[in-house]
Homo-oligomer: A and B are copies of this chain.
Amino acid sequence: MSEQVTLTVDALGGDHAPDVVLDGVAAALSEDADLHILLCGPAESVEPFAAQHDRCKAVATTEFIAMDEHPANAVRKKKDSSIVVGCRLVKEGEAQGFFSAGSTGACLAAATLVMGRIKGVSRPALCTVIPSPAKPVVMCDVGANADCKPEYLVQFAQMATIYTEKIIGIENPKAVLLNIGEEDTKGSAFAQEAFSLLKEQVPNFVGNGEGSDILPGNYDIFVTDGFTGNVCLKTIEGTSKTLFKALKGIFYSNVFTKLGALAIKGGLKDLMAQVSPDTYGGAPLLGVKGACIVGHGSSNATAVKNGIHTTARIVRTKVSETIAETVACKSSSKQAEPGQGSADAGDR
């Protein structure tokens, strides 16, 4: 038996909400007997579902934050939205973590403003597992902080290291700075300064890594500012999608290729699953008090289920507590003004 965990889930998150969210919640509940869900959303969706599912309680909310709303403004105005209520219940101790496949920006803003930053963390950062046929690769930040100071990247590396050890299960993961050359002196002024700080303060930092090192899985963790990380993540998604689409075109070009495609269909399906963002189901915002995981807007029920499992694992392995104990205390960098940062991300 594992530890009892209560999570809030945004029933309205994602392109296919609430249906896929409810399916994902049902699957997660049936796979984890120690999981409890507070399901936030419109009464007509969440109440009948909760009535039919053990360990699920409905939390009726009346507002909705759309994908295209200004994140911080929406969070400030819509106090009874599923996202804000989900984060508030974590803040109030009713739950330990929050999952949503809704607006990334709004989730980051709500988690930062409502749950609050861990003391000593300059900027919470969005950390993602980039799915690769080689092995899982962690990148941080991928969009919470479009504007960074070099010193933020030290904490990004430290927080991503804790996540990689506890959730991905890689001991002493190798972290690199995402840069435009391997040599120590390469890169922009920002990258050069970040390099020096990382080298000085992060024991598992091994140097610079390049864009071409990501998908081959040459390193475990890529540390970067939220702008570069977000561009990079979306570039990988766009590249994979375009190549798979082109492959499909080849397969359907004539009867021989169709037969040929049959033979490799199984392997190809596995490969597509390997590069699908659904395996971990979402990206955690590291550095806030409590777990907050944001799923892809296009999440299906499996992705939602996996996202909920990942959120529960973050709670059970005490990722946030470890960040509070180690990163925040270790940090020598000047603390930022409260309530700043986050909410920069484009919708992933």
Contacts and interface: CB of A to CB of B under 8 A. Distances in A.
Given A68-B183, A242-B132, A346-B181, A227 B147 contact: no
A235 interface: yes
Nearest to A216: B242
When all copies of this chain in the complex are counted, the total is 2
A2 interface: no
Contacts of A188: 146-147, 227, 344
A188 B224 CA distance: 14
- Interface SS of chain A: helix
A280 to B, nearest CB: 18
A345 B187 CA distance: 8
Given A68-B183, A180-B227, A133 B211 contact: no
B239 A187 contact: no
Given A133-B243, A180-B345, A216-B242, A227 B260 contact: no
Interface string A224-245: 0011101111111111111101
Interface of A: 68, 70, 132-134, 143, 146-147, 178-183, 185-191, 210-216, 226-228, 230-243, 245-247, 249-251, 253, 256-257, 259-264, 267-268, 270-271, 274-275, 344-347
